[in-house]
């Protein structure tokens, strides 16, 4: 079975649906609330796990109810945890505002114990990473840990994916560790300075990423799909009414990583990621919205 190793964060998502965001000093009445599993790395692990590949998740948790939620979520999704438990900290949480009309979101995340993931945690998992087919990480945990994981994977010739979310300026040379990068439009602008409004902009941004050392840049374009360097747009899948887009990027990355680990081509893997995301946006929540392999195969 192909193997995806994920370095990332679990947090409990506290999601509020309301007509609009309050302004500072104001209280608005919300329409609904839900609590569920989230965190970009964990969501990507759940997505890949439900698609049936072997998934290992490297992270840190507190010893508390949200930590137990992480363990239960991974167990039911076929994800094997490689976790440091940090009794002096807590498992993090995310505030998610979902705009009722559009389904668009705004997020604040406090990673808690996962903010202490260190390069030493990655050194401990060196063999696990070096024997994977794909290593993927995001930027919710410290940059030094992401760098160490990418270095271990790259030197073992394991395919590396960086989902640079949330976007932050990266040190020189960091992107040479990435076989693939999967930013959305705003993350692309933060990293390259190129504002992406059109496919021509995406092409220019991809060229910039190449200059910065990325092997294969992919820019996700929301409802349009994803732009692959030297190919162009790969269309999204529209399979029903859009309910919530919060987990869409993670669904794409989990689906892309799973397909890539099975030896599919970059193009096929992006298409698989788009199909995974296309289903997830028709459902509520982040991790709970991830589809099974059968559901994805059906729409491909
Ligand atoms: O990508 C969506 C995720 O970002 C949410 O689950 C939230 O926890 C934040 O990490």
Q: What is the CATH number of the domain that holds 121?
A: 3.40.1190.20
Domain of residue 233: give its range.
Answer: 3-8+39-90+117-299
Q: How confident is the model at residue 210 (pLDDT cuts 50, 70, 90)?
A: very high
Q: Which residues are part of the catalytic machinery?
A: 250
Residues contacting 96, CB < 8 A, separation 6+? 13, 14, 15, 16, 38, 105, 106, 107, 246
Q: Is the pLDDT of residue 154 over 90?
A: yes
Residues contacting 12, CB < 8 A, separation 6+? 35, 36, 37, 38, 66, 69, 91, 92, 93, 94
Cα–Cα distances (Å) from 15 to 21, 170, 172, 245, 248, in that order, read 13, 30, 36, 12, 15
181 found inside a domain = yes
C-alpha neighbours within 13 Å on the C-beta side of residue 242: 20
95 found inside a domain = no
Whether omega before 166 lies within 30 degrees of 0, making that bond cis, reads yes
What confidence score (pLDDT) does residue 102 get?
Answer: 85
The mean pLDDT value for 171-193 works out to: 97
Where does residue 172 rank: exposed (0-12), middle (13-18), buried (19+ CB within 10 A)?
Answer: exposed
Q: Is the pLDDT of residue 112 over 90?
A: yes
Rounded Cα gap, residues 110 and 90, in angstroms: 10
Residue of 211, 208, 224, 215 whose CA lies nearest to 277: 224
In 86-156 the beta strands, taken as DSSP E runs, fall at: 91-99, 105-112, 134-137
163 found inside a domain = yes
Q: Return the CA Rg of the chain.
A: 18
Rounded Cα gap, residues 267 and 234, in angstroms: 8
Rounded Cα gap, residues 103 and 288, in angstroms: 16
Cα–Cα distances (Å) from 177 to 5, 155, 208, in that order, read 16, 9, 16
What does the block give as tokens for 240? Answer: 């029903």
What confidence score (pLDDT) does residue 103 get?
Answer: 82
Ligand 1 center to 68 CA (angstroms):
18
Sheet holding 159-162, edge to edge: 79-85, 54-61, 3-7, 134-137, 159-162, 180-181, 216-220, 225-228, 232-235
Residue nearest to atom 9 of ligand 1 (CA): 39
Taking only the tens place, the pLDDT of each residue in 223-280 is 999 999 999 999 999 999 998 999 999 999 999 999 999 999 999 999 999 999 999 9
Q: Which residue has the higher pLDDT, 102 or 280?
A: 280
Ligand 1 center to 66 CA (angstroms):
15
Residue of 176, 174, 178 whose CA lies nearest to 162: 178
The mean pLDDT value for 56-66 works out to: 98
What confidence score (pLDDT) does residue 130 get?
Answer: 98
Percentage of residues of the chain with pLDDT beyond 90: 98
Rounded Cα gap, residues 283 and 196, in angstroms: 27
29 found inside a domain = no
Residue in this structure with the two tokens 């509520």, named with its chain if needed? 284
In a mutational test of the pocket of ligand 1, which residue from 6, 16, 40, 277 has the highest number of ligand atoms less than 8 Å from its CB?
40
Task: Indicate which atom in ligand 1 lies nearest the CA of residue 94.
Answer: 8
Q: How confident is the model at residue 196 (pLDDT cuts 50, 70, 90)?
A: very high
Pocket of ligand 1 (CB under 6 A): 11, 13, 38-40, 43, 94, 107, 109, 140, 246-247, 249-250, 286
26 found inside a domain = no
Taking only the tens place, the pLDDT of each residue in 20-37 is 999 999 999 999 999 999
Q: Is the pLDDT of residue 104 over 90?
A: no
Specify the number of domains making up the chain. Answer: 1
Ligand 1 center to 40 CA (angstroms):
5
In a mutational test of the pocket of ligand 1, which residue from 9, 11, 163, 249 has the highest number of ligand atoms less than 8 Å from its CB?
11
DSSP string, 50-96: HTTSEEEEEEEE-SSHHHHHHHHHHHHHTEEEEEEE-TTS-EEEEEE
Where does residue 38 rank: exposed (0-12), middle (13-18), buried (19+ CB within 10 A)?
Answer: buried
31 found inside a domain = no
What confidence score (pLDDT) does residue 7 get?
Answer: 99
Whether the predicted model's global pTM rises above the 0.85 cut: yes
188 found inside a domain = yes
What confidence score (pLDDT) does residue 240 get?
Answer: 96
Ligand 1 center to 61 CA (angstroms):
16
The mean pLDDT value for 196-210 works out to: 98
What confidence score (pLDDT) does residue 108 get?
Answer: 96
Residues contacting 86, CB < 8 A, separation 6+? 60, 61, 62, 63, 113, 116
109 found inside a domain = no
């Amino acid at each position: 079975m192909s193997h995806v190793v994920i370095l990332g964060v679990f947090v409990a998502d506290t999601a509020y649906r309301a007509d609009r965001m309050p302004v500072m000093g104001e209280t608005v009445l919300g329409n609904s609330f839900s609590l569920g599993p989230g965190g970009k790395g964990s969501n990507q692990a759940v997505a890949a796990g439900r698609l049936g590949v072997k998934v290992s998740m490297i992270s840190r948790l507190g010893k508390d109810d949200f930590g137990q939620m992480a363990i239960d979520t991974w167990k039911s999704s076929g994800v094997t945890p490689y976790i440091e438990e940090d009794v002096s900290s807590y498992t993090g949480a995310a505030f998610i505002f979902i705009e009722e009309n559009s389904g668009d979101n705004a997020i604040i995340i406090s990673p808690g114990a996962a903010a202490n993931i260190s390069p030493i945690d990655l050194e401990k998992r060196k063999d696990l990473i070096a024997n994977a087919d794909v290593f993927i990480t995001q930027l919710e945990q410290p940059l030094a840990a992401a760098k160490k994981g990418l270095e271990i994977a790259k030197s073992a010739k394991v395919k590396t994916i960086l989902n640079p979310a949330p976007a932050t300026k990266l040190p020189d040379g960091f992107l040479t560790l990435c076989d693939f990068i999967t930013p959305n439009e705003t993350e692309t602008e933060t990293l390259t300075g190129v504002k992406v409004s059109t496919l021509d902009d995406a092409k220019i941004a991809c060229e910039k990423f190449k200059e910065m050392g990325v092997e294969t840049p992919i820019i996700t374009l929301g409802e349009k799909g994803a732009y692959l360097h030297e190919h162009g747009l790969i269309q999204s899948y529209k399979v029903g009414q859009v309910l919530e887009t919060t987990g869409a990027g993670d669904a794409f990355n989990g689906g892309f990583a799973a397909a890539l680990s099975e030896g599919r081509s970059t193009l096929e893997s992006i298409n698989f990621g788009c199909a995974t995301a296309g289903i997830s946006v028709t459902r509520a929540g982040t991790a709970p919205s991830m589809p099974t392999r059968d559901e994805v195969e059906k729409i491909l």
